[in-house]
Amino acid sequence: MSTTSLPASARTPRLREALIAAAFTADGLLELLGAPAYAALARSETVPALRATRGDSPLDTLVRLFLLQSPVPAARAAAALPLEECVEDGWVVREGDLVRATVDVRPYGGPEGEDWFIVSDLGCAVGGAGGIGSHEEAVVLGVGGASTTLAGITVRRPVASALDLGAGSGIQALHAAQHATQVTATDVNPRALEFTRLTLALSGAAPADLRVGSLYEPVGTSTYDLIVSNPPFVISPGARLTYRDGGMGGDDLCRTLVQQAGDRLNEGGYAQFLANWQHVEGEEWQDRLRSWVPQGCDAWIVQREVQDITQYAELWLRDSGDHRTDPAAYAERYEAWLDEFEARSTKAVGFGWITLRKSAAAAAGDPSVVIEEWPHSVEQPLGPAVEAHFVRQDYLREHDDAALLAAHFTLSDEVVQEQVGLPGAEDPEHVVLRQNRGMRRATKVDAVGAGFAGVCDGSLPAGRILDAIAQLMAEDPVLLRDRTPQAIRLLVEEGFLEPVRGGA
């Protein structure tokens, strides 16, 4: 792959028009390749895509040139691109009668069907020709699972200012540009910011304020309505690869990023991160993460995956291609990872999402901090569900048990009830409420909880519903009112019940 000078962006509108005219888009790519070849390309297997692009259409040419990084005849390139401009601006180079790409250009569909393009180093886009690993320190990766995950969980509301820390090839800045008046993008790697510039320009987005530096240093004391970061979170011995290794000991980079976010957020602003964290002997991982939450902020932290230290080391050694090197060198690097974990008493590493929201209640000493493990599938984009979580936390802080009993609730959309028990049994062993949206949670409820949720249509206050259930079940209504608010609170917190605004 090349780490030479990067293309110019002054004439990218002409290149963008050519790409779209040729249907070099996410939809066009799927239609050309077909689902099997498209899926294989996402696994960095290029043979099916090469077979599917044996024609001579402009789209065949562009896929081979920019995604498969295969040379194409100059005549075919000229039929698909403003070739002389692309050569002059550095997108491609001539080699005799052939043309080669200098960068990877990947079609990427925006949330509203926009035709976007992510520009990265050759062979470094997931779904590109060469996989996603590299030994080159300054390499810039394209779109991967982590970056699309962060884009999906980010709260998308109109804001005045957004900050993308560790911008890489620019996908987070590109998303933010759709709903932020001003986007600032930073990276310790100047090449990454050049790729961000290209991604924004080729996607037809407004330019960002690009600043070189580490963590919050490039922005000083500026504050923002939204901060997003897919940082180099890998916990590794040293900082060999800029695109993934944080360069601080253990999980200190992620901790620092989160702890310092509170001072950079405007009131009501969100900071959303992907992160790794250590599971240390003799310490609860939840307590470790709770200590990261800055004062004045609410937090929702979700652990999505845990790997033991051997799995973790092997994952990232494969990522950088070390498994394909000399066996002795591979073993030496593997030992270095295990030595690092042993020195830090680390038994496993967690991966997940961290969302902060700056709030007056948290500043007043009543923060909402929810830390949970949820390895199950979710519905993306999850941004609306993230925002709704904090709205519900505000509601629960403002309503004591008496206020909950006076409130009105409705069952959330697409919640279903499942009864589990032996075939033919008169009564189920237990009842489960299950969401088909958002986090797709499931929770066991007793007969009172199931009956309560089933009749919540917003017409009656919770206390009146419980009185009716007590009469039907021959229970003491006072005792039922005493013991049920906690269950109602949990159903609201997890999104099974929605408060009716103005009904309390």
SS (H, E, C) 280-315: ECCCCHHHHHHCCCCCCEEEEEEEEEEEEHHHHHHH
Helix-then-strand count for the chain, H and E: 20, 19
Residue 311 has pLDDT above 80, yes or no: yes
Dump pLDDT digits (tens) for 234-263: 999 977 777 787 778 899 999 999 999 999
Residue 330 has pLDDT above 60, yes or no: yes
Dump pLDDT digits (tens) for 343-383: 999 999 999 999 999 999 999 999 999 999 999 999 999 99
Residue 405 has pLDDT above 90, yes or no: yes
Mean pLDDT, range 318-330, rounded to an integer: 87
Task: Give 298's contacts (C-beta < 8 A, 6+ positions apart).
Answer: 356, 357, 358, 359, 361, 362, 367, 368, 369, 390, 393
Whole-number pLDDT of residue 215: 95
* Alpha carbons 317 and 329: distance in angstroms, whole number: 11
- For residue 8, what pLDDT band results from cuts at 50, 70 and 90? confident
Mean pLDDT, range 127-153, rounded to an integer: 74
- Which runs of E-coded beta strand occur in 330-480? 346-358, 369-373, 408-411, 415-420, 430-435, 442-445, 457-461
Nearest to 198 by CA among 169, 219, 223: 169
Mean pLDDT, range 131-154, rounded to an integer: 81
- For residue 90, what pLDDT band results from cuts at 50, 70 and 90? very high
Mean pLDDT, range 477-487, rounded to an integer: 96
Mean pLDDT, range 3-28, rounded to an integer: 91
Whole-number pLDDT of residue 462: 98
Please, what is the average pLDDT of the chain? 93
- For residue 422, what pLDDT band results from cuts at 50, 70 and 90? confident
What are residue 334's phi and psi, to 5 degrees? -60, -45
- Cis? peptide before 82, omega within 30° of 0: no
**In a 10 Å sphere around its CB, with 0-12 CB exposed, 13-18 middle and 19+ buried, how is residue 243 labelled?**
buried
Residue 127 has pLDDT above 50, yes or no: no
CB burial readout 210-237, b (16+ within 10 A) else e: bbeebbbebbeeeebbbbbbbbbbbbbb
Percent above pLDDT 70 for the chain = 96
pTM score of the predicted model: 0.94
Question: 52-55 contacts: CB < 8 A, separation 24 or more?
Answer: none
- For residue 132, what pLDDT band results from cuts at 50, 70 and 90? very low
Mean pLDDT, range 22-37, rounded to an integer: 96
* Alpha carbons 446 and 463: distance in angstroms, whole number: 17
Whole-number pLDDT of residue 137: 65
- For residue 313, what pLDDT band results from cuts at 50, 70 and 90? very high
**In a 10 Å sphere around its CB, with 0-12 CB exposed, 13-18 middle and 19+ buried, how is residue 55 labelled?**
exposed
* Alpha carbons 230 and 145: distance in angstroms, whole number: 11
- For residue 423, what pLDDT band results from cuts at 50, 70 and 90? confident
Mean pLDDT, range 277-281, rounded to an integer: 98
- For residue 130, what pLDDT band results from cuts at 50, 70 and 90? very low
First to last CA, the chain: 62
Whole-number pLDDT of residue 136: 61
Dump pLDDT digits (tens) for 190-236: 999 999 999 999 999 999 999 999 999 999 999 999 999 999 999 99
Residue 322 has pLDDT above 70, yes or no: yes
Question: What tokens were used for 371?
Answer: 């830390």
Whole-number pLDDT of residue 503: 57
Mean pLDDT, range 394-411, rounded to an integer: 97
Task: Give 373's contacts (C-beta < 8 A, 6+ positions apart).
Answer: 302, 303
